């Protein structure tokens, strides 16, 4: 508790900055409701409550984007995570979140050099034959420099910004606290899952902070595509990698953002789109480990129409079970199978309350809108957008790995259509789904699932007597417990504790007044007793003022 208090006091300046930005963009009521105003004022930090009229005239999603931009790198990353939650936020919100970029001016190299040399454990000149001190790319967490190793290999050096980790950790602590408060104070905010989103953000940021984790991601993708001549993954130079530095091969080709250069290089756009689509679908459906952000900036087109992929800071992973669900889901989309679609969505909904009849009707309406459209003309992006809109209408939320997957599929189709308007990802899906379904029902696969099922059943049967015996022992001892998850119970306990403290001070105040009055009515009392009575009156007065002010504040807020 003491450590939490010190951490909280250390974060007070940042908390004031966050509260001030929220107020500036018209969310003063939220600041009050979360108790931030009282908290900061008690800490002696005044808040300015002015909101410019031109700001309040902006649409809510625009104001949120501007506020996240003003709050800096952690909150920009939060917006990028929110952009993946197509199951929670409507399209106009997603559009605003997608405009958030964490590109920032690079740190001067003089500030980066000590950290780089500390990670390398030797001077830069001892490792590199040439090193470009001007960063060619910079984001909130790291910046990237070109260099040449002593053996002539061209590499890129990704260096974490000095001092960035404590700032991000402070922001994550505050965001976690604010998310819990929002779920307590605003029941309508729970459907947006603020706590889960902050947990997703925390995992994502901590992965990006560790340069070794990105290097491991690159190695994993390189193993998965070993022997595939159509895909190139950069080599990692492990001897120079650490938590703060990542050194990898520079892929020399045409950036995916420069289509004119792609055409000038004589590359086949149709073939590039086809190979890129197949590569990402192979990641998702075969490997279960995929690049979560396949936009043009993360693609390099190499001679021979080879697809080069870079920036593996954000990746997604699918379990075998989830992959099977994805295959069933995509198959239902391709075949326009209403029952299959409903079953998958209900599986993803978990324990959420669902009006199944209404859901079935809405799925039927969705499929009807694609009924007359030839399969080759179906675009997966708009189709997934319709599915996620349906999920939002029914308050169904997807697990985080699926939101990343949907975002990757939509980005992939956009990348393919940028290369050629004739790109239809659904054409690439069909062969994968047919192959995977065929492999699912081979005799070996069926026998393997049967063995696994029998094993699970036997474990349940053999463990049942033990579990029942344990349950009865707990009941006999009176130690059987039932946990109830009531979200506002802790908050209610704090309020009850606060009310009890206020009542105790009230009783003490009354006792001070009565005791002091008794002393003052006794004739010929010594001066010391009169002084004690006067101090008692002063304390009683101060306590009374505190009680009145606290009651007034609680009524006001």
What are the residue numbers of the active site? 293
Rounded CA separation 33/41 (Å): 14
Contact present, 264 and 298 (Cβ < 8 Å): no
Query: How many angstroms separate the CA atoms of 208 and 201, rounded?
Result: 11
Q: Is 32 helix (H, G, I), strand (E, B) or coil?
A: helix
Instruction: Please give the helix or strand (H or E) that residue 246 lies within, else none.
Output: strand 245-249
Using the structure block, give the residue that is written with the tokens 């908290």. Answer: 39
Tokens linked to 9 = 């006091």
The alpha carbon of 38 is separated from its chain's Cα centroid by a whole number of angstroms, namely 29
Q: Which stretch of DSSP H or E encloses residue 145?
A: strand 142-149
* E strand or H helix at 518: helix 489-521
Helices (H), 249-314: 259-264, 269-281
Extract the tokens encoding 409. Answer: 């599929």
Q: Are 363 and 413 in contact (CB under 8 A)?
A: no
Distance, C-alpha 435 to centroid of its chain: 33
Within 10 angstroms of residue 27's Cβ, the number of other Cβ atoms is 19
Determine whether 241 is exposed, middle or buried from the number of CB atoms within 10 Å of its CB (0-12, 13-18, 19+).
buried
Residue 128 host element (H or E): strand 128-131
Buried b (16+ CB within 10 A) or exposed e, 138-160: bbbbbbbbbbebeeeeebbbbbb
Distance from C-alpha of 504 to C-alpha of 75, rounded to nearest angstrom: 42
What are residue 315's DSSP bridge partners? 291
The first and second tokens of residue 336, run together, are 């326009």
Residue 333 near residue 383 (C-beta atoms within 8 A) = yes
**Among 361, 370, 425, 421, which Cα is nearest to 394's?**
361
Question: What's the sign of the alpha-carbon dihedral 311, 315, 320, 326?
Answer: negative
- Please give the Cα distance from 79 to 64 (Å, whole number): 9
List alpha helices for 229-377, DSSP H: 259-264, 269-281, 320-335, 338-349, 356-369
Chain-centroid distance, C-alpha 192: 12
* Sequential DSSP letters for 413-447: HHHHHHH-TT--HHHHHHHHHHHHHHHHTSHHHHH
């Amino acid at each position: 508790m003491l450590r939490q208090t010190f951490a909280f006091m250390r974060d007070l300046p940042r908390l004031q900055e966050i509260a001030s930005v929220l107020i500036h963009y018209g969310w003063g009521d939220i600041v009050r409701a979360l108790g931030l105003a009282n908290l900061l004022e008690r800490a002696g930090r005044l808040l300015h409550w002015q909101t410019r009229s031109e700001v309040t005239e902006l649409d809510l999603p625009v104001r949120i984007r501007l506020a996240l931009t003003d709050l800096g790198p952690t909150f920009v990353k939060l917006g990028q995570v929110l952009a993946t939650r197509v199951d929670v936020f409507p399209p106009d919100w997603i559009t605003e979140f997608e405009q958030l970029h964490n590109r920032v001016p690079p740190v001067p190299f003089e500030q980066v050099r000590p950290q780089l040399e500390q990670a390398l454990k030797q001077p830069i000149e001892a490792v590199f034959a040439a090193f470009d001190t001007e960063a060619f790319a910079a984001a909130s967490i790291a910046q990237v420099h070109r260099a040449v190793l002593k053996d002539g290999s061209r590499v890129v050096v990704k260096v974490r910004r000095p001092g960035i980790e404590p700032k991000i950790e402070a922001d994550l602590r505050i965001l976690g606290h604010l998310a819990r408060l929002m779920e307590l104070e605003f029941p309508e905010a729970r459907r947006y899952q603020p706590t889960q989103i902050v947990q997703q953000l925390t995992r994502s940021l901590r992965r990006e902070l560790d340069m070794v984790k990105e290097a491991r991601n690159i190695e994993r993708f390189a193993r998965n595509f070993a022997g595939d001549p159509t895909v190139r993954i950069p080599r990692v130079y492990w001897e120079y990698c650490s938590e703060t530095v990542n050194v990898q091969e520079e892929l020399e080709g045409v950036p995916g953002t420069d289509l004119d250069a792609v055409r000038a290089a004589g590359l086949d756009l149709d073939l590039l789109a086809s190979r890129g689509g197949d590569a990402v679908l192979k990641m998702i459906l075969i490997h279960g480990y995929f690049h979560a952000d396949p936009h043009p900036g993360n693609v390099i087109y190499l001679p021979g129409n080879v697809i080069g992929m870079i920036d593996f800071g954000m990746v997604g992973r699918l379990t075998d079970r989830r992959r099977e669900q994805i295959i069933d889901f995509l198959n239902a989309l391709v075949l326009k199978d209403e029952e299959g679609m409903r079953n998958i969505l209900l599986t993803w909904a978990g324990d959420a309350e669902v009006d199944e009849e209404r859901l079935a009707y809405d799925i039927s309406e969705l499929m009807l809108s694609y009924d007359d459209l030839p399969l080759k003309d179906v675009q997966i992006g708009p189709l997934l957008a319709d599915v996620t809109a349906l999920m939002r209408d029914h308050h169904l939320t997807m697990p985080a790995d699926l939101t990343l997957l949907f975002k990757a599929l939509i980005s992939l189709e956009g990348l393919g259509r940028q290369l050629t308007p004739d790109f239809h990802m659904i054409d690439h899906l069909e062969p994968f789904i047919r192959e995977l379904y065929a492999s699912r029902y081979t005799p070996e696969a069926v026998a393997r699932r049967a063995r696994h099922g029998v094993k699970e059943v036997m474990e349940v049967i053999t463990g049942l007597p033990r579990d029942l015996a344990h349950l009865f022992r707990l009941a006999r001892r009176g130690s059987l417990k039932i946990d109830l998850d009531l979200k506002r119970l802790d908050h209610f306990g704090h309020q009850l504790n606060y009310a009890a403290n206020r009542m105790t001070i009230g009783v003490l105040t009354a006792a001070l007044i009565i005791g002091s009055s008794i002393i003052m009515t006794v004739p010929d009392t010594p001066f010391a007793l009169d002084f004690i009575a006067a101090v008692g009156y002063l304390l009683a007065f101060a306590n009374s003022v505190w009680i009145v002010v606290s009651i007034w504040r609680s009524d006001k807020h």
